Structure 1
Amino acid sequence: YGPVQTLLRAIFGWESALDYWFPNIRSLWGAIAILALVSYPYVYLLARLAFLEQGICTLEASRSLGCNPWQSFSRVALPLARPAIAAGLALVMMETLNDFGTVQYFGVNTFTTGIYSTWFGFGERQGATQLAAFLMIFVFLLVVLERWSRRQAKFYQSSSPQQNLPRYQLRGLRAIGALAFCLFPFLLGFLVPASYLLYLTVSYAQEVKNNNFFQLASHSLILSFLTAAIALVIGLILVYGQRLSRQPLTSFAVRVTSMGYAIPGSVIAVGVLIPAGNFDNWLAGWWERIWGVNIGLLLSGTIAVLVYAYLVRFLAVAIGSLEGSLGKIKPTLDDAARSLGKTPTQILWQVHT
């Protein structure tokens, strides 16, 4: 029913699916393709930053030892970027496990659809909560397993990344293949859906205007900037605190804080609203008994609760990117700064940032 098959039927005169073969989009492989196309930026952005931060001296040393460009990439550059790539993969994994709309639209039964079915279909809120808790434990074990696999691998940069790396000029079929390979995910993952959404927006411009579009957009922007700023501050405190203490308990707390990304959004909403509502009711009752005034609900339905729910959901993104960047800085740099009389806060702002 989409524009691709409609166009094919119009061009070739096909009348039904019996006249031609087309891959079954609403299937497990179709959902995998869509989730991969929309989630690859998690890995791409962190990996790109990791590669840009690598010093040229390390790669030149590998070339002087007889490595060709591919061997330098696989043996040196890729292991150096592994922490950032692992952080991106963890985000993709949690995003996929949390996704509900895509898998439901494609007719694929997953853990998340089971949580929704248990909750809304059977009315078993406790059972749905248990399934969500099990999902968090599963993601936590996968992340711990990945970190354990590289427990002895520490990669630090000892040279400046500002020097320009040598570029390889591709020609002919290699240039066409590289361009097509890089353009394919951008085209299908962003350009095509964004163009179609823009087309729908223009086609229904009057309806968009009548539905207070700009007011709703301003609210979304305010929430996004506010949540991003708070997530950055909290993530920086957690990651830098983990770097300072180097205790298993601190690392465990950071990992648990990142697990909210794998919880379905509705589960987070209910998990936040119920305690907030209970606290509001208790506070209102206590205030009325003491002062004789009903103050109503202070937290429920406010931007504070909404921002807190967003932080539970997206704090893992800030922690993953910050942890990947700080992990490549040598601890000896902190020791040198302390020997010069710098406090941990001064080291963070004057050295790391």
Structure 2
Amino acid sequence: MTARTQTAFRSAPQKKAKRIPWWLSAAVAAIGLLVLLPVASLIRIAAEGDAEIWPHLIANVLPASIVDTLALLTGIGIVAGSMGITTAWLVTAHRFPGRNLLVWLLPLPLAVPTYITAYIYVEVFDSAGLVQMALRKAMGWTSRADYWFPEIRSLPGCILVMSVVLYPYIYIAARAMFLTQSASMLEVARTLGASRIKLFRIIALPLARPALAVGVSLALLEALNDIGASEYLGVRTLTVSVYNTWLNRGSLAGAAQIACVMLAFVIGLILIERYGRRDRRYALSPKRHRTVHPVPLTGGRGWTATLLCTLPVLMGFALPVSFLLRETLRGGLLEQFDAEFLAHLMTTLGLSVVATGAVLALAVMLVSAARLSKNSLTQGALFTAGLGYALPGTVLALGLMTPLVGFDTLIGTLWRNLTGERLGLLLMGAAGGVVIAYVIRFLSIATGSLSAGLDRVSPSLEDAARTLGASRREMVWTIQIPLMRPALASAALLIFVDCIKELPATLLLRPLNTETLSTLVYTYASRGRFEDGALAALVIVLVGLVPVIQLVRSAEARPKVAESPDLATGSSSA
């Protein structure tokens, strides 16, 4: 190093931790406290409950609920994991009839909420459903005593229903990992005599374990959040126990204590996910990197692969959508598209739009602050925001109830002292509580998407703007937000649809006489008239298709890889 270079190196400005304005620091801290508020409130309610409640819960409620919850999560982990991993490997590593179409179809069950699929499966496969009625008519059976048919309203039935909806979480994560794996490692194993199954078992699957841990954890968190499917199918999970204890038995403290047990389950799932990704970082050489090229499967093997990949699509998407279309057209439900249905639709869209806008605004503020100053406050708030998605909707609603009521009471008292008039409920009476619950639950989607988008941007752009004298506000508005627009658009789609599908928090926090599409479907199903809610369910599914299709399009629009030999033969194919 020359003397001039050394002098230039010493005189170069050193990067220091940048400070952000006090109001932005206060806003960041408030965002973190907002996410922690329901957890703190929940723990306080549980601690202040009657001492006699806990022994009763331990003796009569928790044992069965914990066993059912553990069995449900274990079953979903096995069934959904097998579906997601198998289909992802088949469409990534092989070519077979219908493979190009199935790549697009396999993620589509994400658009169908679990509770809607559960309602439909009961209508189709229950004793009074279409399938068993057709069997009895065709075979001349007169009662259930004449034949045996699997019971859909059972734990195995609930596992199956949730698995065919939630497997895309594992499929998407596994396929993304399989697509980036180097063909060289698989070729070496193949030349050493490894079979196709062995290649998958000892090479591809272990390398994909970090992504699989994330995918399985997301699927299990969604299963733990569910209330409609598990309740309707007769599985008494912790979520159902919280709902029944709170609303049907009138014990808020008892529900809070059960919710605290649910939090332990959530923490356990997060720890398992972290354990599954421990010390698993795989870097691929940027030089001559070739990804896996699909191997042709012909004859019976090819059609078997087609069948294995088609069954999840039929069970998780084609069956629910075709049933909803049939019921909507057969029952003339398009006539339901009247002023009342439009009011429910506008309520759903209004809540989702407001919540989506609030989430994006808070996420931009939080991510921009973390980008401008990587101090403990911003990093801690960013981490805390990510915990919201791990809170099941029932737990979130229960934790928010007391703070929201307290805020409404405080504002109402102040208003009455100032004006002598009653103000009414600001948050609980105008669906503000529902919006707050949406914001807390889905904030992590926006922060994760925006952080990932900004991480791809070179810091030299921001350094150049600072050199030219740009202020922090100009940095955010002229540099960061324009660069975050693609991530903002995708996050907005995902959050908007998740808000439309969300049932537990909406069901518990909505004002009286207020219905959204999800609660409307739940109301019809709870009255034994789900077919009357087919139109609302169909609208939810059709809206949910938009981000799923966009997600698949983004995943498949990757750069073309270099030519790679076939795994089975070692011969080169284009």
Matched, 1:204 2:332: yes
Preserved CA contact (<8 Å) 1:91 1:317: no
Partner of 1:174: 301
Q: 1:130 to 1:178 in 2, by over 3 A?
A: same
SS of 1:109's equivalent in the other structure is coil
Identity, % of aligned positions: 33
**CA displacement at 1:45 relative to structure 2:** 3.2
Matches within 5 A, 1:58-137: 58-67=181-190, 73-74=200-201, 77-79=204-206, 81-137=208-264
Of the structure 1 ranges 63-72 and 90-99, higher mean CA displacement relative to structure 2 is found in: 63-72
C-alpha distance in 2 between matches for 1:169 and 1:310: 46
SS of 1:212's equivalent in the other structure is helix
**CA displacement at 1:19 relative to structure 2:** 1.7
C-alpha distance in 2 between matches for 1:174 and 1:148: 36
Counterpart amino acid of residue 132 in structure 1:
A
Partner of 2:132: 5
**CA displacement at 1:279 relative to structure 2:** 1.2
Matched, 1:278 2:278: no
**CA displacement at 1:20 relative to structure 2:** 1.6
Preserved CA contact (<8 Å) 2:169 2:219: yes
Equivalent of residue 141 in structure 1, options 243, 246, 268: 268
Q: 1:128 to 1:337 in 2, by over 3 A?
A: same
**CA displacement at 1:129 relative to structure 2:** 0.7
Of the structure 1 ranges 239-248 and 80-89, higher mean CA displacement relative to structure 2 is found in: 239-248
Counterpart amino acid of residue 186 in structure 1:
V
Preserved CA contact (<8 Å) 1:100 1:113: yes
CA offsets per residue over residues 200-235 of structure 1, 9 Å max, x none? Answer: 222132651346334433432343355445546656
Of the structure 1 ranges 194-203 and 27-36, higher mean CA displacement relative to structure 2 is found in: 194-203
Matches within 5 A, 1:151-170: 151-156=278-283, 159=286, 166-170=293-297
C-alpha distance in 1 between matches for 2:232 and 2:251: 23
Of the structure 1 ranges 136-145 and 175-184, higher mean CA displacement relative to structure 2 is found in: 136-145
Preserved CA contact (<8 Å) 1:50 1:81: yes
TM-score, normalised by the number of residues in structure 2: 0.50
C-alpha distance in 1 between matches for 2:212 and 2:175: 9
Partner of 2:161: 34
Runs of 5+ consecutive residues of structure 1 not aligned to the other structure: none
Equivalent of residue 258 in structure 1, options 376, 389, 392: 389
Partner of 2:322: 195
Higher radius of gyration, 1 or 2: 2
TM-score, normalised by the number of residues in structure 1: 0.77
C-alpha distance in 2 between matches for 1:20 and 1:230: 55
Equivalent of residue 425 in structure 2, options 289, 294, 297: 297
C-alpha distance in 2 between matches for 1:156 and 1:342: 32
C-alpha distance in 1 between matches for 2:370 and 2:215: 19
Runs of 5+ consecutive residues of structure 2 not aligned to the other structure: 1-127, 467-474, 488-574
Partner of 2:146: 19
**CA displacement at 1:252 relative to structure 2:** 5.8
Partner of 2:415: 287
C-alpha distance in 1 between matches for 2:354 and 2:215: 23
Q: 1:6 to 1:75 in 2, by over 3 A?
A: same
Matches within 5 A, 1:227-266: 227-228=355-356, 230-231=358-359, 253-254=384-385, 256-260=387-391, 262-264=392-394
C-alpha distance in 2 between matches for 1:97 and 1:257: 14
CA offsets per residue over residues 171-206 of structure 1, 9 Å max, x none? Answer: 211221111111111111121122112222221326
Of the structure 1 ranges 194-203 and 339-348, higher mean CA displacement relative to structure 2 is found in: 339-348
CA offsets per residue over residues 104-151 of structure 1, 9 Å max, x none? Answer: 222222222222332234322101111112211221122123314433
RMSD: 4.1
Preserved CA contact (<8 Å) 1:259 1:316: no
Preserved CA contact (<8 Å) 2:157 2:233: yes
| Aligned length in residues | 341
**CA displacement at 1:7 relative to structure 2:** 0.8
Preserved CA contact (<8 Å) 2:385 2:440: no
Matched, 1:217 2:345: yes
Counterpart amino acid of residue 340 in structure 2:
N
C-alpha distance in 1 between matches for 2:241 and 2:147: 35
Q: 1:241 to 1:186 in 2, by over 3 A?
A: farther
